[in-house]
Amino acid sequence: MQTSYRSSARILLPVRPWFIACSLAAALLLNLLPTAPWPGLPDWLALVLIFWSVREPRRVGMGLAFLCGIAMDVADAGLLGQHALAYVLAVYGGGSLSRRILWFPLAQQALHVLPLLLLVPLVQIAVRTVAGGEFPGIGYLLGPLLATVLWPVLTFVLLLPQHQSVDHDANRPL
45-95: pLDDT as tens digits: 999 999 999 999 999 999 999 999 999 999 988 789 999 999 999 999 999
Q: Out of 42-46, 78-82, 147-151, 154-158, pick the least confident.
A: 78-82
What CA–CA distances, in Å, run from 164 to 9, 14, 32, 48, 90? 11, 10, 34, 22, 30
Q: What's the CA gap between 171 and 174, in Å, rounded? A: 9
Q: Where are the domains of the chain?
A: 42-166
Averaged pLDDT, 31-45: 85
* Residues 68 and 30 sit within 8 Å (Cβ to Cβ): no
Average pLDDT, the chain: 87
**Distance between first and last Cα of the chain:** 18
CA-based R_g, the chain, Å: 18
Cα separations (Å) of 10 from 3, 14, 52, 159? 12, 13, 19, 12
Predicted pLDDT at 132: 87
Cβ proximity of 80 and 48 under 8 Å:
no
pTM for the whole thing? 0.85
- Residue 43: strand, helix, or coil: coil
Question: Of the given ranges (1-5, 21-25, 78-82, 166-170), which has the lowest mean pLDDT?
Answer: 1-5
